[in-house]
Structure 1
Amino acid sequence: MKAASPQKMEVFTFGEPSAVLDHRDILDYVECVNNCRWFEPPVSFTGLAKSLRAAVHHSSPIYVKRNILASTFFPHPLLSQQDLSRFALRFLVFGNAFLELRKSVTGRLASSAKYTRRDIEEDIYWWVPSFDQPHAFAPGSVLHLLEPGINQELYGIPEYLSALNSAWLNESATLFHRKYYQNGAHSGYLMHVTDAAQSGSDVEALRDAMRSSKELG
C-alpha cells in the first residue's frame, strides 16, 4: 500500500489594502512661497475646503459659530447679513477672510478666501480662481481679517489645524465601515484547513471562491 504524500501548508491573501483618503498634500507647504507676483498660503486652502465635511464633529462647530454670529448681526447698508455669513464662514474655515471695497457700487463684497492671495507688495491682493487668469484688486481695496500664526504674518492659520488628523481618521473609519457593509461583511477571517484529504485542487477552488465573493463595495 502506497503511503499518502504529506499535505503541505498553504497561506494566501486576497484583496489589496486601499487608502480611503490621502490628505498628506495639505501639509506639503513649508513656507509662503513667493512666485514673483503673490505669496502662496502656508497651508493648502483647497485641502482645508475638502476637509470641512470630513467629519460631523469638525463641520458642526464651525457652522454653529457662523450661525451665532449671523443671528446676532444687524444688517448694515455696507454689509448684509448674507455677506457677513459668508465672511464669517471663510474666516472660520481658512483662518482668513477678505472684503473688497467697491467705490462705484454701494457696499463691500466678500471675496472667497480660497482663491485670494496676498501680493508681494504691501496692501495689494490677487483673485486667483485659476493660475492662468489672475485678477489684481485695486491697491487698498481689500480688508484682510486673519487668524494670526506663529511662523509667518502673511496669512492666517485656522485654529483647528491640530484637530485635522482626528477628523480625517474619523472619516476614514466611517468610509471603511461603509465599504465593509457594502461588501456584505464577509471574508474577514482566517481559515485553517486541517483535513488531510484536501488536495491542491480543492485548496485552489476554495481560494477562487473566496476571491470571487468580494462585492463592488
Structure 2
Amino acid sequence: MTSEKNTSTQSATHMFEFGAPEPVLNNHLSEYTGTYLDTMGEYYRPPVSLSGLADIMNANPHHNSILHFKKNMVLKWFIPSTVMTYATMQRLALDYVVTGILYFQVFRNGFGKVVRTEWLPSLTMRRGRKKGVFFKLNKDGSKTEFKPGEVVQINNPDLKQDIYGLPEYLGGIQSVLLSEEAGLFRRKYYSNGAHMGYILVTNDADLDEETAEKIQKKVQSSKGPGNFRSLYLNIGKSAAKEPVQIIPVGDIGTKDEFERVKNITMIEILSMHRMQPGLSGIMPDNTGGFGDIEKIMRVYHELEIGALQQPFLEINQHIGAGSVSFKEPTWQSQE
C-alpha cells in the first residue's frame, strides 16, 4: 500500500492504492530438462517433475477426470490373477496414465517361480546407473536399493531418451495450466469484494483533511487482499458536477472472456487426451447431444483401449504368460 499527499492547498489531494497484483501460478513443468545422473552418480533423474505431474491432476476437472477414466478402462476388462491382483493393477494403471511409467516388485519362491507382485510408486522410483538396478527414494531422505531383476519397469516411449517414460499429454499441459489460471483469476475477481477494481473520486472544496483521511481508512478496511487495485482520489476545489464518482476499472464483460478461455482450454484438453466429450462427463450444449454413446464407446475401445492394454500385457514377458489378461467387451461376445 502506498499513500501520497499534496498539502500545498487548503483542501489537500489524497491518493493511495492497495491490493498489489500477484502471479497466481508459476509453473514450467512442461520444459524438458533432460535425463542426468544425480549428484552421487547412482541413479538417473527424471526428465520432468513427476510430483508436478501428480499435482497438475488437480489443476483442471477435465484433465483429472479423463486420467481416472483411462485408469478405469484398464480395470474394467482386467482379469485378476494370483500374481497380479486388482489392487496392484489399479495402482499400476494410475501411475502409467499419469506419469507414463509403472514399476512393480517381483517375488519368487525357492524354485524361481513368480508367486506375487507388489506395486512400487513411480513418483519415488529411480533407475540406477548400473543395469537392472533401481532405487526407491524414502521420505526420510534415505533410499532403498533393489537387486537386479527384482523390479520391472514399463515405459511409455520417449523420443529423446529411454531411461524413463513420459505421458502422452505432456504437450497439452499449458492448456491445463491456462484453465487453472482462469479459474483462480475468477475467484480473486469475486473475492476482491466489489468484483472489480475502481477509482473513488471526490470533488469538494469543503472536504477537509480529517474527513478525507477517514474515507481513505474506510475504503482500505473494506477491501481484502486480492489481485486488483482500487484507488481513492480527492481533488480539492473542483467545478465538477458530481462531487463523488466511482469509476470502474473493469466490468462484468470480462465474464465473456473467462468463458471463452475455459471453452478453448476444454477443447484442447479433450484433444490432447483424444477423448470424446460424451465419455468425459461434459454436458452437451445442444438438444442433439453427442450422439449414440454406445457406438462412441465401441469406437473408443477399438482405437484407444486396445492400445492402452498393450503395455500391461507386456508384463507377461517378465512374470509369466497369463498373469495379466483382459476379457472382451460384452458387445463383441454378442456379435
User: Structures share a fold, TM > 0.5?
Assistant: yes
Change in 2 beyond 3 A, CA 1:213/1:27? same
Compute the displacement of 1:33 (Å): 2.1
Aligned 8 A contact 2:24 2:184 in 1: yes
Aligned Cα root-mean-square deviation (Å): 2.6
Counterpart AA for 1:34: L
Match of 1:12? 16
5+ residue gaps, structure 2: 1-8, 227-335
Of the structure 1 ranges 72-81 and 172-181, higher mean CA displacement relative to structure 2 is found in: 172-181
Change in 2 beyond 3 A, CA 1:215/1:68? same
Counterpart AA for 1:111: L
Q: C-alpha separation between the residues in 1 aligned to 2:17 and 2:207?
A: 19
Correspondence 1:59-208 to 2 at 5 A: 59-104=64-109, 106-130=115-139, 132-186=141-195, 188-208=197-217
Match of 2:224? 215
Q: C-alpha separation between the residues in 1 aligned to 2:216 and 2:206?
A: 17
Counterpart AA for 1:32: T
Aligned 8 A contact 1:15 1:211 in 2: no
Match of 1:30? 33
The structure richer in strand per residue is 2
Counterpart AA for 1:103: R
Change in 2 beyond 3 A, CA 1:160/1:11? farther
Aligned 8 A contact 2:189 2:196 in 1: no
Q: C-alpha separation between the residues in 1 aligned to 2:31 and 2:212?
A: 47
Q: Which has the higher contact order (CA 8 A, sep 6+)?
A: 2
Correspondence 1:24-63 to 2 at 5 A: 24=28, 26=29, 30-35=33-38, 36-63=41-68
Q: C-alpha separation between the residues in 1 aligned to 2:47 and 2:108?
A: 31
5+ residue gaps, structure 1: none
Q: Deviations over 1:29-53 (max 9, x none)?
A: 6222212100010101111111111
SS at match of 1:172: helix
Tell me the TM-score normalised to structure 1 length: 0.85
Compute the displacement of 1:181 (Å): 3.2
Compute the displacement of 1:99 (Å): 1.6
Compute the displacement of 1:196 (Å): 4.6
Of the structure 1 ranges 166-175 and 184-193, higher mean CA displacement relative to structure 2 is found in: 184-193
Aligned 8 A contact 1:97 1:144 in 2: yes
Aligned 8 A contact 1:97 1:146 in 2: yes
Change in 2 beyond 3 A, CA 1:177/1:140? same
Aligned 8 A contact 1:83 1:110 in 2: yes
Rg larger in structure: 2
Compute the displacement of 1:172 (Å): 2.7
Q: C-alpha separation between the residues in 2 aligned to 1:212 and 1:55?
A: 34
Of the structure 1 ranges 118-127 and 197-206, higher mean CA displacement relative to structure 2 is found in: 197-206
Across the two proteins, how many residue pairs are aligned to each other? 213
Compute the displacement of 1:171 (Å): 1.9
